[in-house]
A and B are shown apart, each in its own frame.
Chain A
Amino acid sequence: MTDFHSMAKVSVGQILGLVEAVDEVGGVADAATISREVEMDVDRLGPILVAAEFLGLVTVEDGDIRITELSRKLLTAGVRERKRIVREIIDDLPAFRLVMEMARSSSTPLGRQEVVQALSDRVGSHQAEDVFNALVYWGRYAELVRYDSESEQLTVRVAQT
């Protein structure tokens, strides 16, 4: 679950962009080439690489980045299909399973404080906030959760497709 916090600062667009960039140079490239290609230094590219690897979209070996079978599916997919693929990857992550579990056993919507508290028991308080932000962002994208930043309440969405 600690790996998940690497996704707090990374966006869907960046990961898809990375996959596209690697695909464009033939599906495999070393990190330095990609870094030059997309005009991003290692500091900024690093978290995106980690997140993409974490999601199983690229493999990193000896500095070589290689896109996976899953990535190829993602590249040819439309907007809705992409969301479905990402949903299938992330709804199995421990952080999501924890929240789904909490939501199922609670009759009312989950409060932000409540979830952050539960997360800090697993990942420590200094990362809990990051994990929560990642959870909401990716959960919203994959249409797994609904979050209202005004009431700070999180609910689980009923899957549509």
Chain B
Amino acid sequence: MGDAQPLLQVKDVSKSYFDQGKEFKILDLIRFELAERDFVCLVGPSGCGKSTLLRIIVGLDTPTSGQVLFEGHPIRADNPQVAMVFQSFALFPWLTVAQNVELGLEALHEDPAKRRTVAKKFIDAVGLTGFENAYPRELSGGMKQRVGIARALTIEPLLLCMDEPFSSLDALTAQNLRDEILQLWSNPDLPPEAVLMVTHSIEEAVYLADRVIVLSSRPGRMVAELEIDLPRPRNRKDPEFYGWVDEIYSLIV
């Protein structure tokens, strides 16, 4: 693409809350860009406003100042080019796995036959075949988040945003799901073109991302932007891996 327009531009985004006339600054002048084939992690301690930032980026929240541009245009929450995966899965308990996955397509008024075929493809890609008619409560945590991921991929977004997608899961399930995310990411036939993920786990960020953006706490400011040039699959016991983790730790503390 060269010097073509970046997929996502976050331009000097700040966010404040006002309580009884006093201003509480959450985010301060956040600025970065995302190009195609970028896997970026936003990491920071709790209270750095990283989840708020992600919600501003997908258009669910509005910045106090600054701007978010997607393909050069201001972002809208219901933009089908951007999909979101939630920490708490945010599955509709009254819909089956298949119905949950078809949700985004239903909103796009796709006809039922097309919906079914597309949903089937992504249900299969995340390994949920066999659970199509199960309700979310019948699934384990890892399976629930797979539904969340399949639901997001089904609308074939260019950008996938994930808000702490593994932190409601136990350590074993989380590690397994991280690997499967990387498997999906390495398949060029599948969406998305770029991933933006929020996490509080530095190890997780170094394990997954090409680029890590480090935020400080209260208000959230950008401390550093690091290219992680380790080859995949990465081994968390590797001294080089640990070098990165230590460096980010020292930036935050």
Contact = CB atoms under 8 A, between A and B. Distances in A.
Bound together:
yes
Interface residues of B, number: 30
A13 B143 contact: yes
A78 B183 contact: yes
A83 B173 contact: no
A35 B177 CA distance: 19
A11 B171 contact: no
Contacts of B3: none
Nearest to A14: B172
Contact of B172 (A17, A25, A80, A140): A17
Interface in B218-247: 235-237
Interface string A8-26: 0001111111101100110
B29 interface: no
The 7 A-B residue pairs with the shortest CB-CB distance in the complex, in nearest-first order:
A17-B172, A13-B142, A11-B140, A13-B173, A17-B176, A140-B130, A79-B127
A40 B84 CA distance: 29
A142 interface: yes
B131 A141 contact: yes
B235 A16 contact: no
B127 A83 contact: yes
A112 interface: no
Interface of A: 11-18, 20-21, 24-25, 38-40, 44, 48, 78-80, 82-83, 136-137, 139-143, 146-149, 157
A17 B126 CA distance: 16
Contacts of B171: 17, 38-40
A14 B173 contact: yes
A147 B180 CA distance: 25
B17 to A, nearest CB: 34
Contacts of B173: 11, 13-14, 17
B175 A21 contact: yes
Given A11-B140, A40-B172, A149-B138, A82 B127 contact: yes
Given A13-B140, A148-B133, A149-B138, A38 B127 contact: no
B135 interface: yes
B134 to A, nearest CB: 7
B154 to A, nearest CB: 16
Contacts of A20: 175-176, 179
Nearest to A144: B130
Contact of B125 (A15, A79, A146, A157): A79
B95 interface: no
11 contacts: A11-B143, A13-B173, A13-B177, A14-B142, A15-B172, A17-B171, A44-B170, A82-B127, A140-B130, A141-B130, A146-B133
Given A14-B172, A15-B172, A17-B173, 5 more contacts: A13-B173, A14-B140, A21-B172, A38-B175, A140-B130
B124 interface: yes
Interface string B170-210: 11111111011001000000000000000000000000000
Contacts of A18: 172
A40 B170 contact: yes
